[in-house]
Structure 1
C-alpha cells in the first residue's frame, strides 16, 4: 500500500499543493510531520471546497452527502459505482470517507466527482526508438535500447502526462483504456466514421499486444482532498516490432492539447506520479533510464 511504503515527508507533495487546480483556493498548510492521521493535530482546520462544476451534478458526480436519497455504500461496490479502494479498507468518519494516506489541507471533493476513491486508468503505450533504417537506437553510455511512450500535454496544467481518464460506472477496464487513449492521443472523437473504423482496427491490434499492469493504487494527485482522492491502474502496452505504432495517427483530442512520442529518460518532467510509472516501465523492459554522467546526448 502506498501509505505504508512511502514516508510522510515524501507522500502527498502534489496533494498539498496550492492553489488548488482550476481555482484560487489555498489549502490549509500541512507540514510533513503532520500528514499522517496517526499524528494528533487537534487544531487541524482544512479548507472546505467543492467546485461549482461538481455541485452542478453532472452525470459523473455524486450528490452532496446528506442529500435526500443519497446513501453511498463506502468500501463496497455501490451499484455500478466502485467505492472500494485499491489500498484496502478506508475509514469513514462523520459520514465522510478519509483519505487513506493522510491530510491534504482541504476537505470536500474539490473537482473530483466521487466521495472517496475516484478510479482512473492510464494506458502506457511504448515502442523502441528506431533510426531511419529501422534499427533500434541504443544509448551511447548505458548501451541499452531507448524506449519511447505516447505522451499528451494536458490542457488544465500544461504538463506532459500519460493519456488516460476516469472509468465510467459499470465499464470494463479494457474498454476504458482503449477509449481514453483514442480520445486523448488520436482525437478519435472528431474523426469521420470511416476514419474511426480504421483507427479502431489499429487500436484493437495495439491493445492486443504484450501488456502488464505497472501500478494499481493510490495516486499523489493535486486534485486530492481529505474526502476524495485519485486511484489508478497503469497498464503498459508494448509494440515490440514497431509495426503497429509506426502508422498510429497521433493527434491531441479531448483533454489534451498535444500528443507525441517521447523518449524515456530519468530527466522527464511529468504530471503527478506519472514519472514513477514510466520508470517502472523502463526497468521492466530493460530499457535505458539514467541520464547521469552523460551530457552530450542529443535527443
Structure 2
C-alpha cells in the first residue's frame, strides 16, 4: 500500500506549505530569548527541496539548498529594505522574530523584495481602490509582486501593476508610503517578504483587466477600512490580511491631505 500524502510529508520531515507552524508565544518570539526546545515546521515545497533542486532550479528561485551556502550576505544585508542579521550558522533571521516555520517557500533566502502599488481614484466616501483576486490564494489584494533581480522598486511598481491589471502609470509619480516586512503566507524563519508600498492617486477610475497572477481586477469603495471590507464581503470575497496594514497606511496618508 502506498503512503498517504500526510505520511509521506512526515517521513520526509516536511509539512504542507500552508501549515500554520508551531505556536510561538509572544515572550519567545524574539531571537535573543533562548528556546532550546524550539522545533519549527519545515514548509519547503517539493520543487525547492534538495533532490528537486539537484535536477532543476525553477526560474523564479535561487539554487541554494540551505542559506549557509549563500555567499553574498553582506550585499543582501546592505541593500535590504528592513535590516536583519545572521545566526551562528549563517542563516538569516526574520526581522520580527520566530515564525514557527522553517525552510524556504520563496525565491530567495532572507529578504525577498516586493512592490505594492496602491491605486486610488476619487475622494472621500466615493473613493475607490484597485484590487486583484490573487490566483494563488483566491483573495483580494493589492496588485503587486516581487522585484526582479536588478530591477528597482519604482520600476517594479509600474511593471506589476501593468502586468496584473493592464493599467499603465509609467508617467505618474507615486508617494512612497513605507518599506516594511509583510505577513506573507510563505514566510518562514529564514525567508520572508519586505515590500515598498506606494500610493498612486487618480481623479477617476480607469479600465482594469486582470492578467498574469490575477484572476480578476476590480475597484472597491475605499472611504475607510470598514467600507472596503463591507464591499469585498458583499462581493463574496475576502481581503488578504497581509495587505491590511498597507491599505490602512494609505488611508492615513490620504486623511492628512
TM-score range, shorter chain: 0.7 to 0.9
Map of 1:284 onto structure 2 = 253
- 2:144 matches 1:149: no
TM-score (norm 2): 0.78
- 2:163 matches 1:169: no
**Contact 2:18–2:43 (Cα < 8 Å) also in 1:** no
Q: Which of these residues, 119, 133, 140, is aligned with residue 160 of structure 1?
A: 140
Map of 2:75 onto structure 1 = 76
**Contact 1:75–1:90 (Cα < 8 Å) also in 2:** no
| CA distance, structure 1, for counterparts of residue 35 and residue 150 of structure 2 | 39
| CA distance, structure 2, for counterparts of residue 207 and residue 67 of structure 1 | 36
Shift of 1:21: 10
Map of 1:219 onto structure 2 = 182
Map of 1:228 onto structure 2 = 191
Could you say which structure has the larger radius of gyration? Answer: 1
| CA distance, structure 2, for counterparts of residue 120 and residue 67 of structure 1 | 20
Map of 1:107 onto structure 2 = 102
Map of 1:5 onto structure 2 = none
Structure 2 residue runs without a partner (length 5+): 1-13, 230-237
| CA distance, structure 2, for counterparts of residue 207 and residue 164 of structure 1 | 15
| CA distance, structure 1, for counterparts of residue 47 and residue 176 of structure 2 | 32
**Contact 2:18–2:185 (Cα < 8 Å) also in 1:** no
- Classify the secondary structure of the residue corresponding to 1:61: coil
Aligned length: 227
CA deviation string 1:234-281 (max 9, x = no partner): 111111x32xx4xx3311111111101111132225213311211221
Map of 2:163 onto structure 1 = 183
Query: C-alpha root-mean-square deviation of aligned residues, in Å?
Result: 2.8
**Contact 2:17–2:186 (Cα < 8 Å) also in 1:** no
Alignment of structure 1 residues 45-56 onto 2, 5 Å: 45-54=39-48, 55=53, 56=56
| CA distance, structure 1, for counterparts of residue 23 and residue 84 of structure 2 | 27
- Classify the secondary structure of the residue corresponding to 2:197: strand
| CA distance, structure 2, for counterparts of residue 26 and residue 174 of structure 1 | 33
Q: 1:257 to 1:22 in 2, by over 3 A?
A: farther
Map of 1:261 onto structure 2 = 219
Shift of 1:105: 1.1
TM-score (norm 1): 0.68
Alignment of structure 1 residues 35-74 onto 2, 5 Å: 35-54=29-48, 55=53, 56-65=56-65, 71-74=70-73
- 2:115 matches 1:121: yes
Q: 1:277 to 1:71 in 2, by over 3 A?
A: closer
- 2:210 matches 1:252: yes
Question: Which protein is richer in helix relative to its size?
Answer: 2
- Classify the secondary structure of the residue corresponding to 2:195: strand
| CA distance, structure 1, for counterparts of residue 138 and residue 163 of structure 2 | 18
